[in-house]
Each structure stands twice: as C-alpha cells, then as structure tokens.
Amino acid sequence: MEWLIDGVEQMEHLAEELASSIQSPATWALLGDLGAGKTHFSKGFARGLGYAGDVTSPTFSLVQEYHGGRLPIFHFDWYRLKSAAEVLSIGWDDYLDQKGILLVEWANLFPELWPKPTLQVSIEILDSRRLVTLRNID
C-alpha cells in the first residue's frame, strides 16, 4: 500500500489511522532519510494507539516508552548506534518479549534484528511531499 503525503499534518493523520486498528503486538520499522518524517509519523502513530502524551525523537535516549494507550509503545532510533550488537546490548530481545509495539526509526541499519513479521514503512522524500509505502516483511 502506498500514499502520497502533503505536509506534516497529513503524515501524522495517516499514522494515526494505521495505528487506530492495531490490537496486537507488532514491530514497525520506519525507513527514510534525515527529515523524511519518521518522528512525525511516530507522533501520529502513538496518538492512534491512544497515547496522549508527548512523543519526541529518541535519538539520544535510544528508547522511549509510552504507556497508557491500548498497547505499550517502545520508540527506538538506531541512527547513532554502531552495530547490531549495540542494539542487543540495550535489551532488544527483552523489548520484543514485552508484548507491545516496537516502533523503530532508522530500522534499515540493522535489518537482521527485525522479527518476522515486521511492518515496514518506507518514507521517500519528494520535495515537500512524501511517498509512504507500507509492506509486510514475512
């Protein structure tokens, strides 16, 4: 499935819609260059899962947890991580066991860590617009 998105609000709205029907744990891998809109997608996504708090980029904190929605959300950003081993050392496998939503910015850096299935969201920059492609990787 793909969508052509014009502006931040549309991006957040799409993510909110996608998240609004989620009932079970899953991993969502967000792909896209710097400034593609991964964090804006994450904001709408958390809202769609019923989380009412702030969502910010976890670039420095590595992972942020959002509790209070239909499922807990673990928001990662792998941009600054050097290896898959480093991701494992912050407890990746434990997060996978937590029965929540794993939402990962820069997930393309370590595809070997993706569980099966993973929902892949690719965001391509087209000037001010974005082409968003959703695929189930099984």
Ligand X SMILES: Nc1ncnc2c1ncn2[C@@H]1O[C@H](COP(=O)(O)OP(=O)(O)OP(=O)(O)O)[C@@H](O)[C@H]1O
The label of the residue with tokens 């393309």 reads: 108
Nearer to ligand X, 6 or 65 (CB): 6
CB of 62 to Mg ion, least distance (A): 13
Residue 117: asked if its preceding bond is cis (omega within 30°), the reply is yes
Q: How far apart, in whole angstroms, are the C-alpha atoms of residue 95 and residue 130?
A: 30
Nearer to ligand X, 35 or 93 (CB): 35
Nearer to ligand X, 62 or 70 (CB): 62
Among 22, 28, 31, 39, binds ligand X (CB under 6 A): 39
Q: Verify binding: residue 11, ligand X, rule CB under 6 A.
A: yes
Task: Give 3-state DSSP helix, strand, coil % of the chain, rounded to 5.
Answer: 30, 30, 40
Site for ligand X in 64-103 (CB under 6 A): none
- 17, 45 Cβ separation under 8 angstroms: no
Q: How far apart, in whole angstroms, are the C-alpha atoms of residue 103 and residue 119?
A: 10
Q: Verify binding: residue 32, ligand X, rule CB under 6 A.
A: yes
Q: Verify binding: residue 35, ligand X, rule CB under 6 A.
A: yes
Instruction: Kindly report the backbone phi and psi dihedral angles of residue 48, in degrees, each rounded to the nearest multiple of 5, phi listed first.
Output: -65, -20
Which of these ranges, 14-22, 29-37, 67-75, 82-90, lies near ligand X under the rule CB under 6 A? 29-37
Binding residues vs ligand X (CB under 6 A): 5-8, 11, 32, 34-40, 57, 105, 128-130
